[in-house]
A = this chain, B = another copy of it.
Amino acid sequence: MAERGVDVVVVGAGIVGLGIAWTAAQSGRTVAFVDPKPATGATYAAAGMLAPVSELHYQEEDLLELTLASAALYPAFVESLGVRPAEAGYRSTRTITVGADAADRRSLADLREVQRGHGLAVEPLTIREARAMEPLLSPQLSSAFNIERDHQVDPRRLAARLQSAIDGASSRNRWTHDHAIRQSAVGLRHERPADAASRVTGVILADGSTVAAGEVVVANGLAAGQLGGLPDWLALPLRPVYGDIIRLRVPGHLRPLLTATIRGLVRGVPVYLVPRDDGTVVLGATQREHGSAAVSAGGVHQLLRDAQVLVPAVAELELIEVTARARPGTPDNAPLLGRVADGPGQPASDIPGLIIATGFFRHGVLLTPIAAQHCLHLLDGTADGRWARFRPDRFSRPMASEPPFSRTPQSSPHTPKESARD
C-alpha cells in the first residue's frame, strides 16, 4: 500500500461523487476527489426532489426498487453528516401532485393505478382538500393527490455539507494528502499501461501528475466516456438531456407560498414547484435532447406560464436565477453503476480497481445514498446482487437475444454470474 496515494479517488465531485467519497471516508478509507469545480454541474441546477413515488415513469419501473431503497437511506445519510437535517436542506414535507385539465386528470389517475400496483400510497384529494393544505393552489385544478413519502433536499446545501464532512474526516484522521483536487482527470492509470483490462492504479490529471489509488470511482457525469484508459469495447452511452430551472424568491407578504412540493401536469407537460426553508422556490424543469446548453427563452416562458396555472401567485415572485444544465441520460434512463468486465466476451472477470457511477439522469440527488452504499459494498466485496442490472457495461457486452435492460433481470441467463461477481 505504500505506493498508493489514497485508498479511493473519486473522479467528479457532483452530488453523487461527493456522496461516494464521504461514505468511503466513513469506512476508514483515505479518499480524494478530483473536480475543477465541485458541485457546479447538474447538482447546482437540481431541485432535489426525493420522490420515488411521483417520479415513477411508465418505462422506468425497474428503477423503482433502486429509488425506493435510496429514499429509505436518506434520513441516515443526512444524519451521518453530523448536522441537523435542515442544515443539509433536508425536508420531509409531503408532495402534492395536481392536474390542470381533464386530460391531465386522466393521466394522473392512470399513473396512480401503476403506483398502487407497486404498493405505493397515493391519496386522492378534492381540490378543496388540496387547497386546505396549500391555500395558494389554483381553484381551477382538475385533480390532486397527496403523496406523503415524497420529500426533498437542497442539493447545493447537501453538497456543501458533504464537502465539509470530508474536510472533517481529513482533519480527524490526519490525512496528509490533498483530498479536494481542483483539476480535471484526463485518464486512468493502469498496472500495465498498454492494457486497459489490467488493474487501475490511479488517475492522471490535466497537469500530467498522477493520483495513485487502490480504487478509482468514475463519477464525472457526461464526461465519463471521455476519460482515457477505459476499455475500447466499453460503450458508455451517455447523452445530455438539457433542462432549464428557475429560482424564485417569495416576498414577505406571500410567505410561505407553499409548504408541500407541488408537481403538476399542465396540458400534458410536467412542472414542479419546490419550496425551500429560506423563502425561495425552485421551479422546474424543461427537458430537451437537442439544442444548446444555454437557457432557453421558450423553456423559461413555458415554466413560468405553467407554474402560474398551478399557483397563480407565482406571477408576484421575484426571479432570482435561471440556470440550464445537462442531465446525464442513458438509453434506459437507469444509471451506469458498478464494476466493469475485463473483456467483452463471457465469461469475464472485473477490472480490478475500477468502479463507474454515472448516468443518473433526473435521479442523481435521490440516488446518491444508494450509489454511495453500493460503491462501498463493491469496495468491501459485499455488493447487493440486485443492483448488478445497472452495471455500466450492460450496453457493451454480448447479451444473446436479451435487451440490455431486462424487466426481469433475476431470470436472465447472465444475471447469476454478474450478481456473483458484484
Contacts and interface: CB of A to CB of B under 8 A. Distances in A.
A397 interface: no
B297 A317 contact: yes
A295 B320 contact: yes
Contacts of A251: 292
B318 A298 contact: no
A301 B305 contact: yes
A314 B299 CA distance: 11
A308 interface: yes
Contacts of A297: 246, 248, 304, 314-319
Find the residue from A248, A291, A316, A318 having the highest chain B CB count within 10 A.
Answer: A318
Interface string A280-316: 0000000000011011111011001100100000111
A249 interface: yes
Interface of chain A: mostly helix, strand, loop or mixed: mixed
A322 interface: yes
Given A292-B251, A305-B305, A300 B300 contact: yes
A318 B301 contact: no
Contacts of A248: 297
A249 B300 contact: no
Contacts of A246: 297
Nearest to A308: B301
A229 B291 CA distance: 57
B304 A318 contact: no
B322 A294 contact: no
Q: Chain A, interface size: which category?
A: 20 to 34
Contacts of A295: 318-320
Nearest to A281: B297
Contacts of A317: 296-298
Interface string A317-357: 11110100000000000000000000000000000000000
Given A248-B297, A297-B248, A292 B304 contact: no
Contacts of A296: 315-319
Nearest to A248: B297
A246 B297 CA distance: 10
Interface in A192-250: 246, 248-249
A318 B305 contact: no
Contacts of A319: 294-297, 300, 322
A284 B308 CA distance: 21
A380 B206 CA distance: 64
A386 to B, nearest CB: 42
A60 to B, nearest CB: 28
Contacts of A300: 300, 304, 319
Nearest to A303: B301
A69 B305 CA distance: 42
Interface in A76-95: none
A246 B315 CA distance: 16
Contacts of A318: 292, 294-297
Contacts of A291: 316
A355 B325 CA distance: 51
A297 to B, nearest CB: 4
Nearest to A249: B294
Contact of A304 (B301, B316, B320): B301
A315 B292 contact: no
A298 B316 contact: yes
Given A251-B292, A301-B301, 18 more contacts: A246-B297, A249-B294, A291-B316, A292-B318, A294-B318, A295-B318, A295-B319, A295-B320, A296-B316, A296-B319, A297-B315, A297-B317, A297-B318, A298-B314, A300-B300, A300-B304, A319-B322, A322-B322
Closest 3 CB pairs of A and B: A298-B315, A294-B318, A301-B304
Interface of A: 246, 248-249, 251, 291-292, 294-298, 300-301, 304-305, 308, 314-320, 322
7 contacts: A292-B318, A295-B318, A296-B319, A297-B316, A298-B316, A298-B317, A301-B315
